[in-house]
Amino acid sequence: MKNSKYILAGMSAFCIVLIAATSINSSFLTPLRTGVGYILVPLQSGVNAVGTGLYNSIQNYSSLKEAQEENARLSARIDELVEENNRLQSEVYELDRLRELYQLDQEYMQYPKMAARVIAKDSGNWFQVFRIDKGLSDGVQVNMNVMAGGGLVGIVTDVGANYATVRAIIDDDSNVSGMSLRTGDTCNVSGDLTLYQEGRLGLDHIKKEADIQDGDKIVTSNISDIFLPGILIGYASDLTTDANNVTKSGTILPVADFDNLQEVLVITQLKNGGEENAENTD
């Protein structure tokens, strides 16, 4: 420590002497000033270079840190905007679905209804059996008709305190008594999951002489035991005479989309004055 102090003091004194020597304006000291210049100028240039380099490094580091902080803020803001955009898109889609439900409600104003959300479904590609978030406490009962997507979806088969199970008309166990809206001729709409792979349901038990044609609107018939009359099911297609030469059959294109059900309307009126029938047959 003592030696370091001496060295530092000596160098300081030497620098002071050199500065003093270069400050004195005398021809006698000109050679000395010249020699000192050879020593000080490179030393000063080196010190300046080191100082400039350190300053630039500090500035660059500061700029880099500021850029990183700004980048983090922008990234966080982008995440917020993406989340907000997704939320807004979801709300737009939900609003469109609710508008469709409202339009469906207006088309069937003769029936009292309540809206419900789909909260679960059985395993499989489609909503052939699903659960809604309304139950006994909301007034839901077995055999209440369920609508969505422009027409009939299914019927309530089981009810809990705050939920209900719905069997869709595409299910293999579903049969709906239908009729042509144009002529009133009756038919049967049968659920068929294999056929629904092509987006169709079965259409059978049509009398050969019945005037049901491709493209006719098929609605629930007046003679159905549990389905209320006049609810649109779909459109007749591919009608042909059966091998028995007595009846005709074909397929029906349902108006409801069973790939993605999220909200439905439950008709709170039961057929036949409220009599309940747990079987989903007509």
Predicted confidence band of residue 152 (pLDDT cuts 50, 70, 90): very high
**How does residue 78 score in pLDDT terms, banded at 50, 70 and 90?**
confident
Q: What is the pLDDT of residues 91-122, one digit of tens each?
A: 565 666 667 777 888 999 999 999 999 999 88
Q: Is the pLDDT of residue 277 over 60?
A: no
At 10-52, the pLDDT tens digits run: 666 666 666 665 555 555 555 655 655 555 556 556 556 666 7
Mean pLDDT of 124-150: 94
- 197-221 pLDDT tens trace: 999 999 999 999 999 999 999 999 9
Average pLDDT over residues 71-84: 78
Angle, CA 223 vertex, CA 222 and CA 227 arms, to 5°: 70
Confidence of residue 89 (pLDDT cuts 50, 70, 90): low
Give yes or no for residue 239 having a pLDDT over 90.
yes
The percent of residues above 70 in pLDDT, for the chain, comes to 72
What pLDDT does residue 5 have? 62
Q: Percentage of the chain surpassing pLDDT 90?
A: 52
Tell me: pLDDT of 191 over 80: yes
Query: Does the pTM of the predicted model rise above 0.85?
Result: no
Higher local confidence (pLDDT), 13 or 159: 159
Q: What is the pLDDT of residue 228?
A: 96
Mean pLDDT, the chain, whole residue set? 82
Question: What local confidence, expressed as pLDDT, does residue 279 receive?
Answer: 41
